[in-house]
Amino acid sequence: MRIAEFIVTPVAATDPPLRNSWGVHQPYCLRTIVQLRTDDGLEGVGETTGGAEMLAALNATQANVLGVDPWELALLRGSISEVRAFSAIEQACLDLIGKSTGRPVSDLLGGRCREHVEFSAYLFFKFDSPGGDEWGEVLTPEALVAEAQTFVSRYGFRALKLKGGVLPPDDEIRTLRLLRAALPDSPLRIDPNAIWSVDTSIRLGREIGHLLEYFEDPTLGRDGMAAVQRALSAVPLATNMCVTRWDEVRPGYDCGCVRVVLLDHHADWGGMAECVKLAKTCHALGWKTSMHSNNHLGVSMAAMVHLAAAIPNLDFACDTHYPWQQDDVIAGDRFAFRDGCLPVPTTPGLGVTIDSDKLGALHENALRFACDARDDTAEMRKYDPTWEAKRPRW
């Protein structure tokens, strides 16, 4: 089995105006779909982040990929320097290997430890979409609680993650308290994307730490996080910002900046198999694990489920943006959450195939949107041109 064809397709899926500490999501989220076809007629698929740099990185790997046996992942990993590009290629190769052997990708990663993977509700403050959307404007604690109640009733999510760093910190504390009152059995977490100062993070952690299962990236950098963690000994800090690559593990452990690492096979760890190794490393270091999410489509959703299934020490429900997305590239129906969980696919490979019409439509979106990279700050200026100048520093 040799890779005979390598197709890279940039796509743009519609995205609501979700707020974060950097601004607001643009109308489209950018993703890249990889299709590898073999000389014996199989197709494997992968998905990674979008934008011009990723497209260039993937196209630059063509000579390293064509003619290679998909089983030769170590060879491919050594020849592809851009780890996010490798992630999509690895997904597609594992999909091919699974299809050729009749085994799901979770088996190739070590076997399923669970039949269902639990996810958390990912709650955002947001603007109303142009022309309106079902959520409307969510810019108060009370509106956010209503959003959470809809997520819980519709999808059955148990854990609730609040994307913070948007309202003044004390308003976000009130939001968490209202969430606890409205949904008393739901584990809570908050992620202000490192926008708060060390002092603010410590103050807030002392006020709300007892409500949280973990406190994600309240402040910037390992040193700042370590200072917060020392002051909040009873509150585990989590990260996907200050320990994000293998060379950051030792300094992160030495300074004591986190107790929970959020795995992400799209990011700089180096793919799905490396994330399995990372989970074992976290276990050895006494760190707990969960999984990070950015905007993603069904191919990544399938990959996340297979990866999560193969990790014994998955300690918390995984993040996912998937319910916020309505577009997809996979054939058939989108993934459907039941009781906050997705079943682990048992069909060969990733268990998804590409719908060429859906892929073509989202590729047309990418051409029409003509954006080289996501820029939440630039998008926020469209809502408020003076936002950066008057933005508080908490």
Q: State the catalytic residues.
A: 163, 292
Question: Residue written as tokens 């760190």?
Answer: 287
Distance CA 118, CA 341 (A): 4
Buried b vs exposed e over 57-92: b needs ≥16 C-beta within 10 Å?
bbeebeebbeebebeebeebbeebebbbbbbbbbbb
Helix orientation angle between 198-208 and 221-231, rounded to the nearest 10 degrees: 40
Residue 40 in tokens: 């014996």
Distance CA 142, CA 120 (A): 20
Closest CA to 237 of 226, 249, 223, 221: 226
Distance CA 57, CA 80 (A): 9
Residue 174 in tokens: 């009130």
Question: Residue written as tokens 């793919």?
Answer: 271
How do strand 23-24 and strand 19-20 relate by DSSP bridges? antiparallel
Helix orientation angle between 169-182 and 141-155, rounded to the nearest 10 degrees: 40
CA atoms within 13 A on the CB side of 342: 25
Distance CA 205, CA 201 (A): 6
Q: How far apart are the first and last CA of the chain?
A: 56
C-alpha to C-alpha distances, 8 to 32, 34, 202, 257, 278, nearest whole angstrom = 7, 5, 45, 38, 28
